[in-house]
């Protein structure tokens, strides 16, 4: 890993590559920027607030649900350990400046 300034929530080639490796497809910028909210939700209330997510974000959540990564949503959400690890890897790449 080399020194690299990330730029908060910027979709880079390494994030696209990592999401293809971990999820099987490239995520979008909007999907990347939803991950901090999912992380916050799972470490706090476990319930999505529908007023804080867009229709496209709802579609991504539905996709994650159909892929078996999450269950529930507004009434209470659960995620798999595997998705927790995937999400945090993508968050690290998308929000943290790297140095070696």
Stated pTM of the model: 0.87
Distance CA 55, CA 49 (A): 13
pLDDT digits (tens, 9 = 90+) for 53-87: 999 999 999 999 999 999 998 889 999 999 999 99
Note the pLDDT of residue 50.
Answer: 92
Instruction: Please report which confidence band the pLDDT of residue 36 belongs to, taking 50, 70 and 90 as the band edges.
Output: very high
Nearest to 33 by CA among 53, 55, 48, 5: 53
Instruction: Please report which confidence band the pLDDT of residue 7 belongs to, taking 50, 70 and 90 as the band edges.
Output: low
Residue 36's domain comprises 13-95
Instruction: List Cβ neighbours of 76 (8 Å cut-off, separation of 6 or more).
Output: 46, 47
74 in any annotated domain: yes
Kindly report the CATH number assigned to the domain that includes residue 27: 1.10.10
């Amino acid at each position: 890993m080399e020194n690299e300034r990330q730029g908060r929530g910027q979709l880079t080639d390494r994030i696209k590559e990592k999401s293809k490796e971990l999820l099987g497809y490239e995520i979008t910028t909007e999907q990347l920027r939803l991950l901090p909210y999912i992380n916050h939700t799972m470490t706090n209330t476990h319930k999505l607030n529908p007023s804080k997510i867009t229709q496209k974000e709802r579609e991504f959540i539905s996709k994650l649900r159909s892929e078996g990564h999450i269950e529930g949503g507004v009434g209470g959400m659960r995620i798999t350990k595997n998705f927790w690890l995937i999400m945090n890897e993508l968050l690290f790449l998308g929000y943290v400046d790297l140095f070696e």
